[in-house]
A and B are shown apart, each in its own frame.
Chain A
């Protein structure tokens, strides 16, 4: 297909140009499309199976039918403002929270909801974490994020049992 396309371009260039041979060098190089979609689709790992949360078990094309978004804000509505900055901030928040909680977050799923100037960050934690650490890291995250993002940040944590929250094995 790519060959045919460049051939057509070649012919068009020949037909349309009256300026000599230099037009023959203007061709478009294309590569065939490979429709491989793998993002957000979980497969069994080599040697073991893996547990999926509800969010992971549902494939990305079922978003808005069976599950909703992890980010809630008005920046992408019509007339919404600072959508780019909001997206970058969300990426930063996700990475920071994931690191600050030592990768303990259930299913790596962090919900970021923005209401006016408040940012609510919700996720699930295992109950086995010591409460002192949980309180300390909560305050640590809220304090640092609110300094960096210039707005109040609230962490809304749900403590869950060890195998709670997993709905599927692949």
Chain B
């Protein structure tokens, strides 16, 4: 990266301006006169210099060490034979004297050649991967292999992993370019669990759903609990475990007032408890001697329900939850099947 074709030639038109005072000159002369005990032998008789003679410093004092003019190590590196991980052991800025390949970056005009690697600050800015070429990665992996244990071969499928370890705990670690490793977002703990892995009956499941609300995803059957209210990750993890345990045992308790739930409190339509089932029972169980009496009957017990009754129940439920053309059609068909089919009529006759 040199400006001129002859870099040692002083630049044309470039002359550093230096204001030199007479005082400086006088001071330099005076300093050369000063007595230096090392340069003079004690036995030597000191002379009085009327007109001081300038001595060459280099000859009198120790020769000054200078950086060698050309110490480009790259000229001696053979890229094929060199042990690269000892030349470039860790991440560092680009060093043109260690990298034996011609690299260029940066140009002032598009038709000019890019500047070479020496004194090229653009190359020093960018992050490089010279410290992790494939050979180095391989060597480092070999080195840390003795500290690793093999993965248990019983857990060879995803299903088995889920079966033995149903609870998933998700935490995040953050790396910043800063002297601190703390980040407030690292405290957040997420636990995930598939509900099929915990025992819940119909009542407990219903109550569990009410407790966890939108934390349950019915598409994937997954419960997700995120805790971030405590300042430390450990505390948040313990709190999440506590929440899960508390919800589970709470869902299994049955309070006294839960038996007072009426049809109006039901959150979904259950055909077996409803008036439609009772009406069907009264029709099925009707006999001529019940003329003039109340036709309402208790619902049929489960063992007396026939498949067509269940089909009718499903059709009724479908109509009640959302009335559509197909639903009505299905309901009509099911009702005809129950009431007017040859089998039903024949049985009656």
Contact = CB atoms under 8 A, between A and B. Distances in A.
Nearest to A72: B125
Interface residues of A, number: 58
B183 A131 contact: no
Interface in B36-74: 64-67, 69
Nearest to B177: A114
A61 B3 CA distance: 23
Contacts of B121: 53-55, 107, 109, 111, 122, 124, 165
Nearest to B182: A81
Given A54-B106, A75-B178, A48 B122 contact: no
Interface string A103-134: 00011010101111100101010011111101
A127 B11 contact: no
Interface string B160-185: 00000000000000111111110101
Interface in B1-15: 1-4, 7, 11, 13-15
B326 interface: no
Interface in B75-132: 91-93, 95-97, 106-108, 115, 118-122, 124-127
Contact of B176 (A49, A66, A81, A130): A81
A151 interface: yes
A68 B126 contact: yes
Contacts, number: 142
A113 B17 CA distance: 36
Contacts of A95: none
A166 B4 CA distance: 9
Interface stretch (A12-20, A30-38, A136-144, A154-162): A154-162
A67 interface: yes
B125 A151 contact: no
Nearest to B106: A54
Most buried by B among A67, A113, A168: A113
A169 interface: yes
Nearest to A107: B121
A81 B119 CA distance: 33
Contacts of A47: 17
A166 B11 CA distance: 11
B93 A113 contact: yes
B77 to A, nearest CB: 17
A163 B11 contact: yes
A161 B69 CA distance: 8
Nearest to A124: B119
B152 interface: no
Given A51-B14, A167-B1, A111 B125 contact: yes
B322 interface: no
B1 A164 contact: yes
B150 interface: no
B119 A160 contact: yes
Contacts of B66: 128, 130-131
20 contacts: A47-B17, A48-B15, A48-B16, A48-B17, A49-B14, A51-B3, A54-B106, A54-B108, A66-B106, A68-B125, A75-B176, A81-B176, A81-B183, A106-B119, A130-B64, A150-B179, A156-B95, A158-B96, A163-B11, A165-B121
Interface of B: 1-4, 7, 11, 13-17, 64-67, 69, 91-93, 95-97, 106-108, 115, 118-122, 124-127, 174-181, 183, 185
Given A129-B67, A165-B119, 17 more contacts: A48-B15, A51-B3, A54-B121, A66-B107, A81-B178, A82-B180, A86-B177, A122-B124, A124-B119, A131-B67, A156-B92, A161-B119, A164-B7, A164-B118, A164-B119, A165-B121, A167-B3
